[in-house]
Structure formats: structure tokens, C-alpha cells
Structure 1
Amino acid sequence: MVDRHKARKMNDMNSATEEPCVILCMKWGTLYGPDYVNVLYAAVADNITIPFRFVCLTDDRTGLRPEVECFDIPPMDLGPDRFAFGGWPKLSVFARDLCGLKGRALFVDLDTIIVGDITPMVQMEGGVCLIREWRRFADYFRKWGVNGMTSIFAFTLGEQPQILQKFMDDPDYAFANYRSEQRWVTDTAHDMRFWPEGWVVSFKRNLLAPPLLNRVIPPKSPPPGARIVAFHGEPRPIHVVPDRGQRWGNWSRYGRGAVPFVRDYWLRYGGSDPA
């Protein structure tokens, strides 16, 4: 964790000469409440050493803290079913002009835990920098391609408009041939790069014990050098915050009660206690 007083001092020193980066998140529907955005803002502020703007693209600004800059999610005319499935609204951030925002941006999913300095992630060179998809068990028995995951990705605003434009030119083709927006990004991004090994770890792939063993072995804490823990799919962070012995996950990604580092993170950065 970056020392917040040191980071604030560095922000003050650099703000006059350095263009702030943009930390982006997106919230639509009811799956994620305002706590997710507010906690993420506090965690970013505590783990970055350069000036930043925190922007939430959303359909509901209720309950969001005043430091969060809110903009409407750019219209994509997908219809409610397509809009909600697979994260396709994320493609809107690749518009040639996104709400007048400029500079380097880091998009962060709301179901993400920041555990280290994210400054190098914003500053990493490349067209689109994203997660290399973690292998599932079934992937070891079939052809394995190179695919990116868009839980956390960096890019320069306005410099990858083809990602959105090609989709909008023929969305029917995209939905017929792609399971999710992240594979679309993998195929249409220019100068795609992956985060260095260990920067982003998966809760369910890297920290949770294998099936059956996870019934007796608790989840591990993030390793040294990790900057972000991604909660892609089940369980979500809010499921492992309560400390009441609740079951969470599913038969293969199983656990009980609070995961200490997640509970500490959630409460430390202002999240309400579900217990």
C-alpha cells in the first residue's frame, strides 16, 4: 500500500505540471451498489502517486461520493438484453471522444481489490495493456489461444477508436461470433500487451485452494508484488466480507465466512459491513 500522505504530497508537487491520468469504472444496473464505487475511489487514492481523476460511467449516481466524476454511459443502442450480457458496454470507453476526457486511462472493474501501487499500471507503455486470461481446467484439454481479459486495462483515451467502431458497424456479427467483449478487444486492439507476471492475480485461480481442498484450506493472501486482485465471476468481494460463517462460491470455488484481507480492505476504505 502506498503511504497516503506521501502520495498526497507528490500529487501536490506534480499537479501544476503533470496532466492527471484517468481512472475509469463503470456501474449499471443493480448488481453493484454505490459502496463498490466509493471503496474503489478510496483505494485508488491510497495506492497511486501521480495526479488522477476518478471517473464513473453510470446510469445511477445515487450515493456516490463527491470526488467521483460521473458521466452517463455513452449510448450504444444495443437493447437491454445485449447491453447487460458480457460487458459489451465497456467498449464505449474506446470512443474517439469519451466525455472530453484525455490522456492515459486505467479501467478497473468494480469487483476488484487494489493491494499495491497502481502507478506503474497507468504508466505502462502499449496500445491496450490488459490481463492475459487465466486458464480454466478444461483449457488444458483443448487448443489454447491468446486472449485478454478486460477486468483491468490501460489505454490512451481516443487512440483505439477502431475497437468500438468495428463493433458498431456490425454488432450482429460480434454477438454471433464472440462470447464476450474481452475477446473482441483481443482481436481488434492495436499494440496489445499483457500485464507483467504477478501484477494482477485472480482470487479464484491463484488464491483459492483447488476444489475439495478449498473446504479445509482457506484462501491465501495476495503475494508480494501483486497490485490488484481480480474477482471475475463468483464469488464477488461482497460475498466474502461478512464474518458470519456464510457459504459462498459454488461447488468448485467454495468457501465460508470472511476472507480477512478482503474484509479489511472493504471496511478500511469505507464500505458498509454486510454482517
Structure 2
Amino acid sequence: MSQRYILCMKWGDKYPAEYVNRLYRMVKRHLSLPFTMVCLTDNDEGIDPAVRCLPIPSLNLPDGLPERGWLKLTTFTPDLHGLQGTALFLDLDVVIMDNIDHFFTHQPAQQGVFIIRDWKRPWRKVGNSSVYRFELGAYPELLEDFRARFAEIRQQFRNEQAYLSWYVHQHNELHYWPSTWCKSYKYHALRPLPLSLWLMPKKPDCDILIFHGEVNPHDAITGGGGKWYRHILPAPWLKEYW
């Protein structure tokens, strides 16, 4: 039986240690299969001892670059601290709303990367990497290609998930989760104006709720956190899961 890992990353000061701890508690509630949770981080202070903290492999990026999530590509390090098995990567700002066993059991023999299909432009071969599954050690040449062509890649791809999707698609091994499993708070919970002025965000029917853009889970519960033209009411139903 392949070892199962829940993998996450925390670097810099965008998210506190409590986000790692909340993610761990959500996984414990909603994953009945044996697992080990690993956080790749530059600072393990305040993180629950039940989470195994390991250093983020070096990517040697130039200083002062805009944040584009490039560090997440280090999950494809050929030998990631000796870990072997199947990894399910979760962004720190996701909210798990139901059982996630099937994210491991879904087509377990299928080679490649399972990822969220982009909601805004689903015709593109670009996945949302808030939730992706892969075999540790797969695609050992990925980082070699990234490092060798970084200047070119920066111009061609907006962020890490665009490059990752392109790279894996070249191997014909990019697969998408069923569309009902992961939904977006931005696209599936928030209501358009003017309904957002008096109706709270609706609760999507999904297993994992993805937060991207300006609103984080703690903002969503209390309301606010969006751009000036988007009025966001509180979503008290989110407390049950967060």
C-alpha cells in the first residue's frame, strides 16, 4: 500500500501557522484513510507537532520577483526529503466541507497529475493547483527544465499552475477532478451585484471550497475583504467547516 501524504506549503508571512493547524484539523475530520501531513515551510513556529515540517527545497529565484507561486513547483523535487508515495497537495486557504477519501482512491493507477479544471476559462489546458495529486518523485526533469529556462518561462506563463499544467500536458498526463468535487468561493458562493447587497454568499455543494483572489476564509466568515466594487456579506455557514 502506497504511503499517503497530505502536502502543504507555508512561506513568508501571508498565512500564519494557524492556517496549517486548521488545515490539519479539517483533514483529520474528513479523511478516513491513514495519512501523514507534511508542511514544507521556512518557519515551523506554532505549527501543530502532529504535522511533519520540512524545509522548502531551494529554487534559487532572483530577489524581488512578484509572487507567482513558483515555490510550489519544488513539490516535484526528484527526492523530496526521501518521501515516497502518493501526495495530495492542498493550499492553506482551502476549506474542506466533506469526506475527501476519493481524492486518493480516484483512478489510483492513473499516471500523471490530477488537478482542478480552471473555472473561468475551462477550454484552456490550465489547472488550478489549489488541490492536486501526484506520485512523489514523478517528473524528475520538471525542475531541471524550469531552472534552465526560467527567464523564458516567466514570460510565457503567468504562474506556477500554468507552467505545471503545460509541462504535464506535454506528457499527456494532465487529468481533472470531477467538476463537483472542488468549487470556487469567488465563482460559486459569491452573488453578483446587486444580489450581493442583501443576500449572503450561498453554500456550494462540494467537497473542497477554493479561495483565490482577495478573500480568505476568515474574511469570508466576517464579510468584507474584496475589492471596492464587490460588496461581500458574511457567510456564517462557513464557521462549521473552518
Q: Same fold (TM over 0.5)?
A: yes
107, 113, 117: which is aligned to 1:128?
113
Give yes or no for contact 2:57–2:74 (8 Å, CA) kept in 1.
yes
Q: 1:163 to 1:212 in 2, by over 3 A?
A: farther
Report matched runs for 1:1-275 at 5 Å.
Answer: 18-82=1-65, 85-125=67-107, 126=110, 127-135=112-120, 144-189=123-168, 190=171, 191-223=173-205, 226-242=206-222, 247-257=224-234, 259-266=235-242
Give yes or no for contact 1:211–1:252 (8 Å, CA) kept in 2.
no
Q: Could you report, residue by residue, the CA deviation over 1:60-113 in whole angstroms, capped at 9, with x for unpaired residues?
A: 10100110000010000003333x611000000011111111111000000100
Q: Could you say which structure has the larger radius of gyration?
A: 1
Shift of 1:253: 4.0
With normalisation by structure 1, the TM-score equals: 0.81
Give yes or no for contact 1:57–1:71 (8 Å, CA) kept in 2.
yes
Give yes or no for contact 1:147–1:186 (8 Å, CA) kept in 2.
yes
Give yes or no for contact 1:148–1:182 (8 Å, CA) kept in 2.
yes
Taking the aligned partners of 2:207 and 2:224, their CA distance within structure 1 comes to 27
Could you say what the CA RMSD is over the residues aligned between the two structures, in angstroms? 1.7
Q: 1:146 to 1:212 in 2, by over 3 A?
A: farther
Give yes or no for contact 1:55–1:69 (8 Å, CA) kept in 2.
yes
Shift of 1:238: 1.8
Q: Give 3-state SS (helix, strand or coil) of 1:105's partner.
A: strand
Give yes or no for contact 1:212–1:252 (8 Å, CA) kept in 2.
no
Shift of 1:197: 1.6
> What 5-or-longer segments of structure 1 have no aligned partner?
1-17, 267-275
Letter in 2 for 1:176: Q
Q: 1:174 to 1:39 in 2, by over 3 A?
A: same
Letter in 2 for 1:48: L
Give yes or no for contact 2:9–2:91 (8 Å, CA) kept in 1.
yes
Q: Could you report, residue by residue, the CA deviation over 1:39-66 in whole angstroms, capped at 9, with x for unpaired residues?
A: 0001101111211000000011010011
Q: Could you report, residue by residue, the CA deviation over 1:154-176 in whole angstroms, capped at 9, with x for unpaired residues?
A: 00000122332211121111111
> What 5-or-longer segments of structure 2 have no aligned partner?
none
Q: Matched residues, percent identical?
A: 37
Taking the aligned partners of 1:210 and 1:44, their CA distance within structure 2 comes to 31
Shift of 1:256: 2.8
With normalisation by structure 2, the TM-score equals: 0.92
Taking the aligned partners of 1:38 and 1:157, their CA distance within structure 2 comes to 23
Q: Where is the helix percentage greater, Structure 1 or Structure 2?
A: 1
Structure 1 moving runs of 4+ over 4 Å: none
Give yes or no for contact 1:94–1:164 (8 Å, CA) kept in 2.
yes
Number of aligned residue pairs: give it.
236
Q: 1:111 to 1:253 in 2, by over 3 A?
A: farther
Q: Give 3-state SS (helix, strand or coil) of 1:40's partner.
A: helix
Shift of 1:252: 4.9
Give yes or no for contact 1:208–1:253 (8 Å, CA) kept in 2.
no
